[in-house]
Amino acid sequence: MNRFQFVEDHKGAYGVKRLCEVVEIARSSFYAWLAAAPARAARAADDAALAGRIRVLQDPAQGGDRAYGAPRITGDLNDGVPAGERVNHKRVARVMRDHGLAGIRLRRRVKTTVPDQSGRRFPDLIGRDFTTGEPNRRYVGDITYLPIADGTNLHLASVIDLGSRKLAGWQIADHMRTELVEDALKAAARDRGNLTGAVFHSD
């Protein structure tokens, strides 16, 4: 709870001076906060009204779009509005955050794992045991995509040592062919000296 509000709520029972000493604030600061209460209430009312306008812009039933974020909302709010009456994008972002009005992020899903069409199954040599153990014995890996500004993706293959929980090797490429993982494993082998006898687990 706000310390100033605590003093305000309990001053009738304990007195302002004593409460300010207990919560370690200056009485002058409390009275300044109290004097600013009408301005705070006015700002809160303005923010609530702005939140209502934002909800309309995000409501598909009223021609809005739930995916609209602060930049698009700010642009729509300021469309055709005189310069002196425009709303700042930082305030829009704050009001959206405070009222839980974040836009839905519609990111394109990228499939990074393609099932083996032959239907072959490979044994799980580590038995789903991902706990730590002796270093340089069990490794796990994955591929993740990295979206870049031009709309394309790079792909990151990683090799992590389960014994030390450290990244032993990695490789980035614009493809997900087998050599991407092979290059990540080669990097791990260079870092660890060799991978002889080690098990590598991936999906």
pLDDT digit string, tens, across residues 46-65 = 999 999 999 888 888 877 77
Q: Is there a single domain that holds both residue 27 and residue 7?
A: yes
Per-residue pLDDT tens over the stretch 122-149: 677 777 776 767 888 888 888 888 888 7
pLDDT in tens, 157-183: 999 988 888 888 999 998 888 899 999
The token pair that represents 15 in the structure block? 């007195």
Look over the chain and give the mean of its residue pLDDT values, rounded to a whole number. 84
> Residue 33: its pLDDT value, please?
92
Q: How far apart are CA 201 and CA 78, in angstroms?
A: 54
Angle at 151 between CA 145 and CA 155, to 5 degrees: 20
What is the pLDDT confidence band of residue 35, given thresholds at 50, 70 and 90?
Answer: very high
**Which amino acid does the sequence have at 133?**
G
66's CB contacts (< 8 A; 6+ apart) are 58, 59, 60, 103, 104
Instruction: Check whether residue 183 and residue 203 sit in a common domain.
Output: yes
pLDDT at residue 32 in the model: 94
Radius of gyration of the chain (CA): 29
Q: Is the pLDDT confidence value at 203 over 80?
A: no
The CA distance from 159 to 140, in Å, is 6
Residue 114: per-residue pLDDT:
59
Q: Are residues 119 and 149 in the same domain?
A: yes
In 3-state terms, what secondary structure has residue 27? Answer: helix
If asked whether residues 40 and 121 sit together in one domain, one would say no
pLDDT digits (tens, 9 = 90+) for 61-108: 877 777 788 888 898 898 888 888 899 889 999 999 888 887 766 555
86 lies in the same domain as 150 = no
Helix/strand/coil for 50: helix
Which one, of 134, 38, 119, 50, lies nearest residue 87 by Cα?
50
Residues 129 and 151 in one domain: yes
Q: Give residue for tokens 């990540």.
A: 184
Instruction: Tell me which of 74, 98, 122 is where a domain ends.
Output: 98
pTM of the model: 0.46
Instruction: Indicate which CATH number applies to the domain containing 129.
Output: 3.30.420.10
The Cα 159–Cα 143 span in angstroms is 9
Residues 118, 49, single domain; the answer is: no
Domain that holds residue 172: 107-203
> Which of the four pLDDT bands, split at 50, 70 and 90, describes residue 26?
very high
